């Protein structure tokens, strides 16, 4: 059974750091890109970071660029998010999700659809003094 | 970055109704549009990818369509378990892969 389990959340003071982990099981972790998405209390989903299957391509949302670092250890089937200089508006549930892609071809040419098909249940980060 | 405008933000409907939720992209994203369903306290669940491809295991009452930069999710006959919040997400080219603001579907 394909599964993702996040951990590492908690209460932290503004300006401090926290490291989230996401443990994958039931699939070949190294075959998939991975993402982090967060959801502030009562708010919508916010995509925050992407890492390719090998770790060679990484992207961030502007809201976390320069403060958060995504990484992965394919030997340990694990994804990480190092969060530094935390702010109150980083308070959210953080989800990791598996990225899948499907090839398609239309009148504009060939490309891939990218989508997130397996999600963890999330871990809560609260930034407060 | 590509912006996604989703509407309505909330919708009241009854069991058996047909409902449609719309997302508009700020630029051409081809068919790179996904729909997710989220129930309170749960992780999102993928419903549709590539604008109209139904994810495995998702009931056929869910469908997706596109017209230019406008994308729609339609539920043909609402069931009690469909009352949830729905999000669109664009996944065109390189990230960021932005979400719409969400549509909360409530029981009338």
**Under an 8 A CB cutoff, do A44 and B53 touch?**
no
pLDDT digits (tens, 9 = 90+) for A12-50: 999 999 999 999 999 999 999 999 999 999 999 999 999
> Does A106 have pLDDT greater than 90?
no
pLDDT digits (tens, 9 = 90+) for A54-101: 999 999 999 999 999 999 999 999 999 999 999 999 999 999 999 999
Single out the residue of A44, A117, A79, A60 nearest to residue B97, CA to CA: A60
Return the number of other C-beta atoms located less than 10 Å from residue A43's C-beta. 11
B25 near B69, Cβ under 8 Å?
A: yes
- Averaged pLDDT of chain A: 97
B64 near B20, Cβ under 8 Å?
A: no
On the question of a cis peptide bond just before residue B96, with omega within 30 degrees of 0, the verdict is yes
**Under an 8 A CB cutoff, do A102 and B49 touch?**
yes
Q: Check CB contact of B98 with chain A, cutoff 8 Å.
A: yes
> Does B70 have pLDDT greater than 90?
yes
Name the residue in chain A with its Cα closest to that of B2. A61
How far, in Å, CA of B58 to CA of A9, rounded? Answer: 31
pLDDT digits (tens, 9 = 90+) for B37-69: 999 999 999 999 999 999 999 999 999 999 999
Q: How confident is the model at residue A110 (pLDDT cuts 50, 70, 90)?
A: confident
In angstroms, what separates the C-alpha of A120 from chain B's closest C-alpha? 7
Q: Check CB contact of A59 with chain B, cutoff 8 Å.
A: yes
In angstroms, what separates the C-alpha of B63 from chain A's closest C-alpha? 16
Phi, psi of A79 (to 5 degrees): -115, 145
How far, in Å, CA of A61 to CA of B99, rounded? Answer: 12
């Amino acid at each position: 059974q394909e599964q993702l389990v996040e951990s590492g959340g908690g209460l932290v003071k503004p300006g401090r750091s926290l490291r989230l982990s996401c443990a994958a099981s039931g699939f070949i972790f190294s075959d998939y890109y991975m993402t982090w998405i967060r959801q502030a209390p009562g708010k919508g989903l916010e995509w925050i970071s992407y890492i390719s299957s090998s770790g060679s391509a990484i992207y961030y949302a502007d809201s976390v660029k320069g403060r958060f670092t995504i990484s992965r250890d394919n030997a340990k089937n694990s994804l990480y998010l190092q969060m530094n200089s935390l702010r109150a508006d980083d308070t959210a549930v953080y989800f990791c999700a598996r990225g899948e892609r499907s090839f398609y071809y239309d009148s504009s040419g060939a490309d891939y659809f990218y989508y997130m098909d397996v999600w963890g249940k999330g871990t809560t980060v609260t930034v407060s003094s | 970055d590509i912006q996604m405008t989703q509407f309505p933000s909330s919708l009241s409907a009854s069991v058996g109704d047909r409902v449609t939720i719309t997302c508009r992209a700020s630029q051409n994203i081809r068919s790179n549009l996904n729909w997710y369903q989220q129930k309170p306290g749960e992780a999102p669940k993928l419903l549709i990818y590539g604008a109209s491809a139904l994810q495995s295991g998702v009931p056929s009452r869910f469908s997706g369509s596109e017209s230019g930069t406008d994308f729609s999710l339609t539920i043909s006959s609402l069931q009690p378990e469909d009352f949830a919040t729905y999000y669109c997400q664009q996944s065109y080219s390189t990230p960021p892969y932005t979400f719409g603001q969400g549509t909360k579907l409530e029981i009338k």
